Structure 1
C-alpha cells in the first residue's frame, strides 16, 4: 500500500483500522512494531502517530527528503487536530500506538496518567548522548517533566513571544520617541488619542486597541512590566501564590483603568474579538497593539490599500521602573509545545530507543528544519546569502510543506529565517525574550482540583478584574472576589500545588 493511501485512511477510517492497515506498508516495520533494524536499503523504519494541523496530509516530496537526511523510512499515521483528544484517548486505552507519539495535550488526564503509569520511556538519562537533544535547556526539561521525570523529547516552541507593536509613522508625526517605560507608553497612548496622529482633523483614534482576553491580549504582557509572576509564584520555602495576589497584578489593573478612564483604549475592549481588534488596528483606528510580536506582519499586510503609510516598530524591552534589571516577559507554556513520546509497547529496549532518539536528534538539524519549514530551495523557496528565505510558490508550499511545520521538535534558534523584515525582526525579539522570560513554576505539576475546577474558578477572578478596570467595583471588592476564589477551591489548589512542588523539589 502506498504511503499516500495510508495518510488518507488516517483521516477517514477508525483508529484501530488505521493501525492494522499500516501493517506491511514498508520493509521492516509497521505501526504495531518497534523500529526495525537496518533493512536491505540500510534504513530503519520508524512509525509516527502525529497531529495534522492542515486540511490534508502532505505529499511525499518533503517526506522523501527527510528520510534521506535521517537515513530512515518514516510511516506517518495522521490524526486531525480537531479530533486529537478523542483519538489519543482511544489509542492510549487500547495501547495501539507507534514508535513515536506526538502528545500536545499534556494537561489531558488520560495522557498524564499514561505517562505516570510508565507506558512511555523516560528519556531524561539519554538526551545528553545526542548533540541536539543535549542542547535542550534544564529549564525546558523541567517544564516538560511529569512528577520530575521526562517521558519524551520536549517540542521546543518560543518561550515568550509577546511585546508591543506601535505605529512608528505616528510617533514620528508627533515627535515622540519609542517608549521604554510604562509611563512613556501611557504618554504615547494619550498623544495618539488626543493629538490627531493620522492628520485627518478628526479626533477618531485611540492609543491602545485591545480585546476581551486577559492572557493573550494586553493585560498579561503589561503585567510582566509591573513584575507580576507567570500564573503562579513559589517562595524559597515552597509557598505558592497566585499571580492575582501580587502587587504587580494590582498595578496592571490600575494602569488599564487609567487607559480606560482617559479614553486611551477602545472603550469596548472587554467585549472585542481578536479579529475586530486586528482589523481596527490595520484600519488606522489605534496605534498600539499588545500581543504576539509576529502578528505585526499580518497587521501591516492587512493595512495595505487602507493605511499605506503605516510603519511599525516592535518593542520588547519596556519596564515600569526604567531599570534593565527589571526587564521581564511572561511565558505562555514555558516554551513546551508537547512531547515526542516513545511507547514501551513499540520501542522494546534501549537499543531501539536510542535509534529513535537519534532520529529525533537528526530532525533538529538545520537541514531538516529548513525542509519542514520552507521546503526545497529552488522549488518552494529562495534564500539569499544571509539565509533569508522567501516562499516562491505558496500553493505548492501549502500542499507539500506546511503540514510538516507542526511536527518540528524545535522551532527557534535556526540560521535560516523569513525574508520579510518585520517577521525577521519579530523572530529576533522573540528569541531575545527568552533571556527575560518568567516561567510558570507549576506548569509541569498537577493539582486535581485545578484540573477539575480551575477554569470555573478563574471566572471569578476574570470577572472581578474587568469590573475593577471598568470602575464598577473597588479594590476591596476585588480582594473579596479573591477570598471567594480561595474558599471555593483556591486554597485546595494551592495546597495541592505546594505538595506537588515539595514532592519534586524536596
Structure 2
C-alpha cells in the first residue's frame, strides 16, 4: 500500500511539472488573468472559424468521431470541434497521460471532487473565467454559492456539471402513521417512538409481527440526519477554537448515534445493518418490512415502488420535515450542485475570440428546456436532440430519443462535454412529472414542497482540497464509522464519545481540520450561510 501511494505521488509530481511547463510555454509568460482587451469583442461573432478540442468522461460508450450530430455542431458554431469522450472507468488514467504528454485540450472535464482540477488550477493550467461568464444566459445565471466551490486564489476556474441541490432525506409510510393514529415527528424522540410503534403495533394491520421501524445498512447508511446539525458529511459544527469540524465527530452525530443505539436495543431498526449492502437495504423497505427510509426528488426507482405496491396496494409515503436543532437551526444541507467540472486551458488567454466561442458551446450544452419547450416547435430543442424523426420522436406529448441517437451520433446533445441541463433557480420545475406511479408522484411532491419551504445550509467545505484529507480522510471516516457502528450495536458505549473524537484527532484528524479551515477561510467563509 505504501509503495502504491509513493508511485501515485511520483506520477502526480510528473504531471504537475508537465502542466506547469505546458502552461508557461503556451501563455508566453503573461499574467494568467490575460492582458487582452476584450471590451470591443463581440462574444457571439462567428466570422472566424476555430478548432476547439476537449475531453471528458462518460458512463457508457462514446459516440463516433464522425456523425450527423457532430456536423450540426460544427455548422452552428462555425468550429472544427474535436471532442474526446472517454469511458469513465479509464478517464483518470487516460486524461492524466494526455496532460503529461503536453497535449491538454481546450476544454477539460473532471469528475466531482477530482483533486487534479484544484491542483492544476493552482499551478496556472486553467483560464480564470470571472470576466467571461456574464455574457451567457446559463453560465451567468449560476449562483455564486455554486461557483465558490470552483474558486482558486479568488478566481473561478471551473464550470459545474449540474445536479439538483436536494439531498436524499428521511421518508415514512404515511398509511402506517394513519393506521396507528400517529403524526409526523418533529424531533428524534418522536421519531424513535414511531419506529418502535412500527415494530410492535402491527402498522400494516395484517395481524402478524412482521414489521419494524428504520431500514438501514452498512456504514450506517442512510444516516437519517434531520438537518445540517446532524449531518455527518457537513461541516456545520465548530470547536472551541472556532474551527469548523466534520459532522461525523460532532455533538449532533453523537445524538444520532444514541438514537440508533436505542432503536437497536428495541429491535426497531435493521439488526444486521453492519453487513447489509445497499441493494438489500432498499429491499428491507420496499418489501414492506420497514416503515422509515429515505427518498429524493430525482433518481427514485419506480420498479422498487411497484414491487411494494404489489405487496400492499394501499401503501402511501410522505417526507419527514427537518427538525429544529438545539441551536435553533432548521434545514438540511444543500447538495454541492455539481456532479462534475469543466475547465478551459490557460493557453486560450491569447485568443479571446476562441474563449468566447468555446464558452458559447459550453453554455448551449447546458441550456435548460422547460417541459412545454421540449418539442419540435422549439427550434433550439429540436436541434439539440437531433431533429424530430431522426434523433428523437414525440410519444404521448414527450420527446423520446431513438435507440441509436448516441451510438450513431444522431443528436448534437451527445457530443457536448457537459450536456446536463442546468436548471435555473427560478424554474417552475415539478419533479413529480418525471414519474408515473401516483404513490411516487405524491411522495416526490411532498419532498419538493418540503425543500422549497425551508432554507438549506451551504457547506463551507465544498470545493476545499486538503492534502491530509486526500491521504487520510477516507481511512479516518471509516475508522470512526466502524466505532460508531459498535456503539449502535452495544459493543462500545456511547459514553466513549469524547475518547473516540480524541482518537480521530490523533490519527490525523487535527491536521485535516486545520487544513480544511485554512481552505474555508481562503474561500471567504466566516458565518454559516443558509439559502
Task: Provide the TM-score with structure 1 as the length reference.
Answer: 0.77
Q: How does 1:106-255 map to 2 (within 5 A)?
A: 106-108=113-115, 110-214=116-220, 217-219=221-223, 221-222=225-226, 224=228, 226=230, 230-231=234-235, 233=237, 239-255=243-259
Task: Give SS of 1:125's match.
Answer: coil
Task: Give SS of 1:290's match.
Answer: strand
- Cα RMSD (Å) of the superposition? 3.9
Q: How far 1:484 moved relative to its partner? A: 1.5
Name the structure 2 match of 1:265. 269
Name the structure 2 match of 1:407. 418
CA contact (8 A) 2:219 2:485 kept: no
CA contact (8 A) 1:317 1:327 kept: no
Name the structure 1 match of 2:515. 496
CA contact (8 A) 2:231 2:247 kept: no
Out of 283-292 and 54-63, give the one that drifted further. Answer: 54-63
**Offset from partner CA, 1:61-101 (integer Å, 9 cap, x none):** 76667677767664321110111111121122123233221
CA distance in 2, matches of 1:119, 1:424: 48
Q: How far 1:436 moved relative to its partner? A: 2.8
Pick the aligned partner of 1:466 from 449, 472, 485.
485
Task: Give SS of 1:213's match.
Answer: helix
Q: How far 1:320 moved relative to its partner? A: 4.5
Task: Give SS of 1:505's match.
Answer: coil
Task: Give SS of 1:155's match.
Answer: strand
Name the structure 2 match of 1:433. 451
CA distance in 2, matches of 1:425, 1:61: 41
CA distance in 2, matches of 1:158, 1:406: 19
Relative to structure 1, the CA distance from residue 397 to residue 354 in structure 2 (aligned partners, 3 Å threshold; closer, same or farther) is: closer
**Offset from partner CA, 1:136-187 (integer Å, 9 cap, x none):** 1111111222343221222232223211232233333334344444344333
CA distance in 1, matches of 2:406, 2:517: 46
Name the structure 2 match of 1:16. none
Task: Give SS of 1:275's match.
Answer: helix
Task: Provide the TM-score with structure 2 as the length reference.
Answer: 0.74
Task: Give SS of 1:164's match.
Answer: strand
Name the structure 1 match of 2:474. 455
| 1:298 equivalenced with 2:302 (yes/no) | yes
Relative to structure 1, the CA distance from residue 185 to residue 200 in structure 2 (aligned partners, 3 Å threshold; closer, same or farther) is: same
Pick the aligned partner of 2:435 from 401, 414, 420.
420
CA distance in 2, matches of 1:411, 1:295: 16
Relative to structure 1, the CA distance from residue 55 to residue 409 in structure 2 (aligned partners, 3 Å threshold; closer, same or farther) is: closer
Name the structure 1 match of 2:97. 90
Name the structure 2 match of 1:24. none
Pick the aligned partner of 2:84 from 77, 84, 109.
77
Relative to structure 1, the CA distance from residue 286 to residue 55 in structure 2 (aligned partners, 3 Å threshold; closer, same or farther) is: farther
CA distance in 2, matches of 1:350, 1:305: 57
Pick the aligned partner of 1:328 from 328, 331, 338.
331
CA contact (8 A) 1:223 1:248 kept: no
Task: Give SS of 1:78's match.
Answer: strand
CA distance in 2, matches of 1:254, 1:230: 19
| 1:281 equivalenced with 2:285 (yes/no) | yes
Query: Number of residue pairs matched?
Result: 460
Task: Give SS of 1:196's match.
Answer: coil
Q: How far 1:342 moved relative to its partner? A: 0.8
Name the structure 2 match of 1:339. 341
Relative to structure 1, the CA distance from residue 160 to residue 366 in structure 2 (aligned partners, 3 Å threshold; closer, same or farther) is: closer
Name the structure 1 match of 2:366. 364
**Offset from partner CA, 1:172-224 (integer Å, 9 cap, x none):** 3334344444344333322221222233322111111111134xx33253463
CA distance in 2, matches of 1:195, 1:460: 37
CA distance in 2, matches of 1:398, 1:275: 29
Unaligned runs of 5+ in 2: 1-42, 375-380, 526-531
Task: Give SS of 1:221's match.
Answer: coil
CA contact (8 A) 1:206 1:285 kept: yes
